């Protein structure tokens, strides 16, 4: 596979000004009446072997970003480079290779596994399709994968319904790892799981990262989970990244008002009834009809007229800390 | 706390579900009481029986396959389990109301939200159409919905998730209940909206002097909202404590494990602590203490493996169900343990 400019600076994935718009059609002739700007100019990079977390509330475009990168949803504008290969304009042959290098773990451990397929088929399918592995070798590979994710290797002939939620998520992880990918996109991998299972899965993903040198794009709504799991965190709001920094830096020194709101809204076991803080009113506006200027200004405690008129650009503060806010100096 | 302050008192509640594969004991020997004007939280993982407990208070356990097999539920001086269905209907939705987890599926899509709120008001408070409609507008305003005069005519699909949950709450409080059961009221919502909804519940509690039974799996919410907490595991309550006391010092190994396995902002850890294994299923509960296969203490203890501990007061105001908690065993049991099980 040709590789122009051999992934400079050690970035495995580079996303530049990515936009994904969905046309809204109405009426008899399905006339386009507007666009939902699900992803609206997203830029980030992930170093090889690191994890980047995309956090935000529902409808902010974090899942669509993941899907656009894997070309499950067509991009409207922008560029995505994976190991220097332009993904959005890749040829069919390049794309086949990219499909091996990038895999996805889905949120819903119940909906994302075919109930009529055995575990062996679910995990082994991609090996059959991409690598033409069959027979005993396939069976051995599948067993190895199941062991790696902590499932009993005699469970190969079971069906998904015979497993608990946490085990099902392990099947999903085994499937994602089958082709030895470089980048794994985890779309809310633990949000459907119980607390005691959630920590098991997060630890497993971390161990696998160490062992296999994986790079993660970790999509989640829970800032505490992301801060634990990721090296770099990007906070999304209404299709835009409003703040991006190293996990520790972001936690210690949040700059964007939205990040602060998000952080203070996480219920914490160290806070009592009396010591609770209050947060502002308002809901996430519709992406079909976003507010002018900064998308957060209707809910922002600091907003003034400039915020409602002009969209702030993402600016580099100290180090690798990016913020898109007029009020952050 | 005097006896008069208690609004609901549950004693030895047992609920079973009958299936072809056997009897699933979904709730066993659950006892707790809810004080007037306070929030009591029931916390646990999925399948631990917390929702079944709540449905028992409403007497909404589907029969068959489910049945309340033992215990009593006193609401003030009435045992709800002995009331006729007709009497129960005058209490359900009126004195005791419930909000459900899924605001999307708990509302009827073909009626306007005004119709749905007014229905309960007309039924329970014998008001006319117009009065009930006016009350609906008032109650929508109370739950913080802007422009309620217009919103009453809207249908559930026209509202966002947070708004729908507000409508659910409006419906529940329309008859000024004394007890509000909130079953995972914010699980389907975003964190910022979650906070708004929980704040709203707090406000309403203060205004109406209402008791809340808050059912959740989120320990953070419990810490911030509850006065008293019961932790459930595999159909039993394993620990009851005042909220702050529980988070300062959890006694039961399961509670301790849960608290340790939470990722926290600002705490840098390479790995999270975990509870090994998974929650047992009601048809295949282990013998003895149901937590022992996952317990760091109970694994090697013969008594944990064979005798199920009941809930006892281990120190003032603290209840736990664990052989290994200090102060749990009686002197007699300690002696028996020495002879019967060996050390």
The DSSP string of B150-209 is HHTT--GGGS-HHHHHHHHHHHHHTT--SEEEEESTTTTS-HHHHHHHHHHHHHHHHHHT
Of the residues A194, A220, A221, A274, the best mutation for testing chain B's interface (the one with the most B CB atoms within 10 Å of its CB) is: A194
Of B192, B243, B261, the CB nearest to A279: B192
Between A8 and A256, the more confident residue is A256
pLDDT of residue B183: 92
Q: Does A63 touch chain B (CB under 8 A)?
A: no
Of A203, A229, A251, the CB nearest to B265: A251
- Could you give the CA distance from residue B100 to residue B117 in angstroms, rounded to a whole number? 15
Which run of H or of E encompasses B331? helix B331-340
- Could you give the CA distance from residue B338 to residue B336 in angstroms, rounded to a whole number? 5
- Average pLDDT on A52-70 reads 90
Q: If you measure CA to CA, which chain B residue comes closest to A58? A: B190
Q: What is the pLDDT of residues A146-182, one digit of tens each?
A: 998 988 888 889 999 888 888 999 999 999 999 999 9
Q: Does A279 touch chain B (CB under 8 A)?
A: yes
Residues of chain A found within 8 Å of residue B229, distances taken between Cβ atoms = none
Q: Å from A165 to nearest chain B CA?
A: 9
Taking a C-beta distance cutoff of 8 angstroms, is the pair B96, B120 a contact? Answer: no
Q: If you measure CA to CA, which chain A residue comes closest to B266? A: A251
Q: Å from A283 to nearest chain B CA?
A: 7
The b/e string for A12-34 (b: 16+ C-beta within 10 A; e otherwise) is bbbbeebbbbbeeeeeeeeeeee
Which run of H or of E encompasses B242? strand B236-242
pLDDT at residue A29 greater than cutoff 90: no
Q: What is the pLDDT of residues B159-177, one digit of tens each?
A: 888 888 889 999 999 988 9
CB pairs < 8 Å spanning A and B: 131
Residues of chain B found within 8 Å of residue A278, distances taken between Cβ atoms = 199
Question: What pairs with residue A13 in β-bridges?
Answer: A46, A82
User: Is the CB of B261 less than 8 angstroms away from the CB of A195?
Assistant: yes
Chain centroid to CA A8: how far? 23
CB atoms within 10 A of CB A91: 9
Which run of H or of E encompasses B314? strand B312-315
Q: Which of A57, A194, A98, A254 is nearest to B261 (CA)?
A: A194
Which run of H or of E encompasses A198? helix A195-212
Ranges A58-72, A277-291, B253-267: which has the least confidence: A277-291
pLDDT at residue A281 greater than cutoff 60: yes
Q: Å from A273 to nearest chain B CA?
A: 5
pLDDT of residue A153: 80
pLDDT at residue A276 greater than cutoff 70: no
Of the residues A56, A60, A196, A283, the best mutation for testing chain B's interface (the one with the most B CB atoms within 10 Å of its CB) is: A196
User: Is the CB of B263 less than 8 angstroms away from the CB of A228?
Assistant: yes
Q: Name the residue with tokens 């009827």.
A: B108
Secondary structure E strands in chain A: 11-26, 31-47, 51-55, 77-82, 85-86, 102-105, 183-187, 215-220, 232-237, 240-246, 315-316, 322-323
Q: Does A161 touch chain B (CB under 8 A)?
A: no
pLDDT at residue B340 greater than cutoff 70: no
Between B1 and B138, the more confident residue is B138
Q: Does A231 touch chain B (CB under 8 A)?
A: no
Between A314 and A283, the more confident residue is A314
Taking a C-beta distance cutoff of 8 angstroms, is the pair A232, A52 a contact? Answer: yes
What order do you get walking across the sheet with A322-323 strand by strand?
A102-105, A183-187, A215-220, A51-55, A232-237, A240-246, A322-323, A315-316
Q: If you measure CA to CA, which chain A residue comes closest to B221? A: A267
Between B82 and B267, the more confident residue is B82
Domains of chain A by start residue, with CATH = 5-116+159-323 (3.40.50.300)
Residues of chain B found within 8 Å of residue A227, distances taken between Cβ atoms = 263, 265-266
pLDDT at residue B279 greater than cutoff 90: no
Taking a C-beta distance cutoff of 8 angstroms, is the pair A202, B263 a contact? Answer: yes
pLDDT at residue A227 greater than cutoff 50: yes
Indicate the pairing of strand B6-19 with strand B22-35: antiparallel
Residues of chain A found within 8 Å of residue B247, distances taken between Cβ atoms = 269-270
User: Is the CB of A200 less than 8 angstroms away from the CB of B274?
Assistant: yes
Chain centroid to CA A118: how far? 27
Q: What is the pLDDT of residues B41-64, one digit of tens each?
A: 999 988 889 999 999 999 999 888
Q: Which residues contact A2 (CB under 8 A, 6 or more apart)?
A: A85
Query: Could you tell me the pLDDT band of residue A243, with boundaries at 50, 70 and 90?
Result: very high
Taking a C-beta distance cutoff of 8 angstroms, is the pair A63, A1 a contact? Answer: no
Token code pair at residue A312: 């702030």
What angle is formed at CA A121 by the lines to CA A119 and CA A125, rounded to 5 degrees?
Answer: 130
User: Is the CB of B224 less than 8 angstroms away from the CB of A268?
Assistant: yes
User: Is the CB of A268 less than 8 angstroms away from the CB of B223?
Assistant: yes
Q: Could you say which DSSP state residue B290 is in?
A: T
pLDDT at residue B3 greater than cutoff 60: no
Quote the percentage of chain B above a pLDDT of 90. Answer: 55
Query: Could you tell me the pLDDT band of residue A8, with boundaries at 50, 70 and 90?
Result: low
User: Is the CB of A273 less than 8 angstroms away from the CB of B160?
Assistant: no
- Could you give the CA distance from residue B29 to residue B320 in angstroms, rounded to a whole number? 13
Of B144, B195, B272, the CB nearest to A202: B272
Residues of chain B found within 8 Å of residue A269, distances taken between Cβ atoms = 219-220, 222-223, 247, 259, 262, 264
Q: Name the residue with tokens 């329970």.
A: B124
Residues of chain A found within 8 Å of residue B259, distances taken between Cβ atoms = 269
- Average pLDDT on B210-214 reads 96
Q: Å from A327 to nearest chain B CA?
A: 21
Of the residues B278, B294, B296, the best mutation for testing chain A's interface (the one with the most A CB atoms within 10 Å of its CB) is: B278
Q: If you measure CA to CA, which chain A residue comes closest to B227? A: A273
- Could you give the CA distance from residue A21 to residue B61 in angstroms, rounded to a whole number? 47
Q: Which of A62, A92, A88 is nearest to A1 (CA)?
A: A92
Q: Which of B104, B96, B142, B147 is nearest to B120 (CA)?
A: B96
The ipTM of this complex is 0.82
Phi, psi dihedrals of residue A280, rounded to the nearest 5°: -70, 170
Of B190, B192, B262, the CB nearest to A195: B262
Phi, psi dihedrals of residue B125, rounded to the nearest 5°: -110, 5
Q: What is the pLDDT of residues A186-206, one digit of tens each?
A: 999 988 888 888 999 999 999
């Amino acid at each position: 596979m040709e590789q122009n400019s051999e992934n400079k600076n050690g970035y495995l994935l580079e996303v530049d000004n990515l936009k994904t718009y969905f046309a809204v059609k109405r009426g008899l002739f399905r006339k386009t009446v507007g666009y939902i700007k699900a992803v609206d100019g997203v830029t980030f990079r992930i170093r090889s072997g690191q994890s980047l977390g995309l956090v935000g509330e529902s409808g902010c475009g974090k899942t669509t970003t993941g899907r656009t990168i894997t070309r499950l949803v067509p991009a409207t504008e922008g560029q995505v480079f994976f190991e220097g290969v332009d993904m959005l304009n890749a040829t069919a042959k390049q794309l086949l290779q990219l499909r091996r290098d990038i895999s996805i773990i889905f949120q819903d451990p119940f909906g994302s596994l075919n109930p009529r397929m055995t575990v062996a088929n679910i995990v082994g399918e991609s090996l059959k399709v991409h690598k033409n592995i069959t027979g005993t070798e396939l069976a051995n590979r599948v067993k190895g994968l199941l062991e790696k994710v902590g499932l009993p290797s005699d469970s190969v002939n079971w069906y998904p319904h015979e497993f608990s939620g946490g085990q099902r998520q392990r099947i999903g992880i085994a499937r994602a790892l089958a082709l030895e990918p470089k980048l794994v996109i985890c779309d809310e991998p633990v949000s459907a799981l119980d607390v005691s299972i959630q920590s098991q899965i997060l630890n497993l993903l971390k161990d696998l990262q160490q062992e296999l040198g994986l790079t993660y794009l970790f999509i989640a709504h829970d800032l505490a989970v992301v801060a634990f799991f990721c090296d770099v965190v990007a906070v999304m709001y209404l299709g835009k990244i409003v703040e991006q920094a190293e996990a520790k830096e972001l936690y210690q020194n949040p700059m964007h008002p939205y990040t602060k709101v998000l952080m203070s809204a996480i219920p914490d076991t160290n806070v009592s009834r009396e010591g609770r803080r209050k947060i502002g009113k308002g809901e996430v506006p519709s992406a079909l009809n976003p507010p002018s200027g900064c998308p957060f200004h209707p809910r922002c405690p600091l907003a003034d007229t400039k915020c409602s008129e002009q969209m702030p650009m993402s600016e580099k503060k100290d180090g690798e800390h990016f913020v898109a806010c007029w009020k952050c100096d | 706390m005097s006896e008069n302050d208690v609004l609901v008192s549950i004693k030895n509640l047992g609920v079973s579900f009958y299936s072809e594969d056997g009897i699933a004991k979904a709730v066993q020997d659950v006892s707790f009481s809810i004080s007037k004007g306070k929030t009591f939280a029931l916390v646990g993982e999925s399948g631990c029986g917390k929702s079944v407990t709540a449905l028992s208070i409403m007497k909404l356990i589907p029969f068959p396959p489910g049945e309340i097999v033992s215990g009593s539920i006193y609401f003030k001086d009435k045992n709800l389990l002995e009331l006729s269905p007709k009497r129960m209907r005058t209490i359900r939705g009126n004195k005791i109301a419930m909000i459900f987890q899924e605001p999307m599926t708990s509302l009827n899509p073909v009626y306007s939200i005004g119709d749905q709120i007014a229905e309960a008001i007309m039924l329970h408070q014998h008001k006319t159409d117009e009065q009930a409609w006016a009350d609906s507008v008032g109650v929508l305003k109370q739950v913080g919905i802007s422009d309620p005069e217009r919103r009453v005519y809207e249908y559930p699909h026209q509202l966002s998730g947070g708004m729908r949950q507000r409508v659910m709450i409006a419906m529940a409080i329309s008859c000024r209940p004394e007890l509000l059961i909130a079953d995972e009221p914010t699980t389907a919502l975003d964190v910022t909206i979650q906070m708004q909804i929980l704040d709203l519940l707090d406000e309403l509690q203060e205004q109406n002097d209402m008791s809340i039974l808050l059912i959740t799996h989120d320990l953070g919410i419990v810490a911030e909202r509850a006065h008293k907490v019961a932790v459930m595991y595999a159909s039993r309550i394993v620990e009851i404590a005042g909220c702050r006391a529980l988070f300062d010092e959890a006694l039961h190994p399961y509670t301790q494990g849960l608290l340790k396995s939470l990722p926290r902002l600002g705490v840098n850890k390479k790995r999270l602590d975990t509870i090994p294994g998974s929650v047992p299923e009601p048809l295949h509960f282990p013998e003895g203490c149901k937590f022992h296969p996952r317990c760091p203490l109970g694994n090697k203890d013969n008594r944990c493996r064979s005798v199920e501990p009941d809930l006892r007061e281990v120190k003032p105001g603290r209840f736990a169900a664990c052989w290994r908690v200090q102060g749990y065993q009686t002197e007699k049991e300690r002696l028996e343990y020495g002879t019967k099980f060996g050390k």
